[in-house]
Amino acid sequence: MDLPHGYGRNMCEQSEIRSKKMTEFNQYRKDLHDKIISYAMPEFYQRGVKAVKMDEISQGLHVSKRTVYEIFGDKEELLLAGMKMQQDEMKADIERFARAHARNVIDVISYVYRRQMERNQKVGVVFYEEIHKMPRVVKFLKESHGKEHDDSLRFFNAGIEEGLFRSDVNYEVMMEVANLCMDGIMHKQLYKTFSMQQLFDNYFLIMIRGFCTERGLLLLDRALAMTD
């Protein structure tokens, strides 16, 4: 049976239209996914996860609550997506800074410290109080530490080669101890007694100073003085 004239061309055109519409729809969903996260995460940080309702998020973005639930099954899934996105963005920012601006590992540490200071000002005690009781979040954080292991070792080796980190330190042991300390801080809820900035300064910086060489300490002190 002969097909109508132009039938094949019409089928191709219809297929292209469907493909274009699907691409546009997927992009819309991706944009909405990111907008929801951008709206929700600052609220989670400031007020805590429980206090922020999905109704509030949908109203704030002028989308239906059903749409929010279609993209994120529940609030913890939204939180996890936000934490992962921000973690990925932070890692990408550090890598860009390291390639474009850092002269050595101390410059990278200084950059991370400045970013952490900014974060500490945005995140309230209630947020930390809640997340360490969320099994999926705790699992995500533990898995993240595991994935960072090799990157951290490469960073420490680079510091040794630059003469800024001590070569007599077992960095595998140090990372295990650091993870235990952080687990202890969260478990004991020390953020209720001390600010996260105080904890960061008296845990993160002191540990770093312990494995820096004399030259590394000199550069570190100069870099941190510029953040005051």
This model's pTM is above 0.85: no
Strand intervals (E) in the chain: none
Query: Which of helix, strand or coil describes residue 82?
Result: helix
pLDDT at 10: 66
* Contact yes or no for 127/48 (Cβ under 8 A): yes
pLDDT at 19: 65
* Contact yes or no for 197/129 (Cβ under 8 A): no
Distance CA 75, CA 66 (A): 13
Which residue stretches of 53-74 are H helix? 54-61, 65-71
Query: 171: which residues sit within 8 A by CB, 6+ positions away?
Result: 152, 153, 156, 211
pLDDT at 12: 66
Whose CA is closest to 199, among 189, 211, 213, 209? 189
* pLDDT bucket at 147, cuts 50 / 70 / 90: confident
CA 135 from centroid of its chain's CA atoms: 18
* pLDDT bucket at 84, cuts 50 / 70 / 90: very high
Mean pLDDT in residue range 66-74: 93
How large a percentage of the chain has pLDDT more than 70?
Answer: 89
Whose CA is closest to 204, among 212, 214, 213? 212
pLDDT at 108 over 60: yes
Query: Which of helix, strand or coil describes residue 212?
Result: strand
- The string of pLDDT tens digits covering residues 162-183 is 999 999 999 999 999 988 888 8
- The string of pLDDT tens digits covering residues 72-81 is 999 999 999 9
More reliable by pLDDT, 20 or 142 = 142
Report the helix count and the strand count for the chain, using DSSP H and E. Answer: 12, 0
Distance CA 209, CA 223 (A): 13
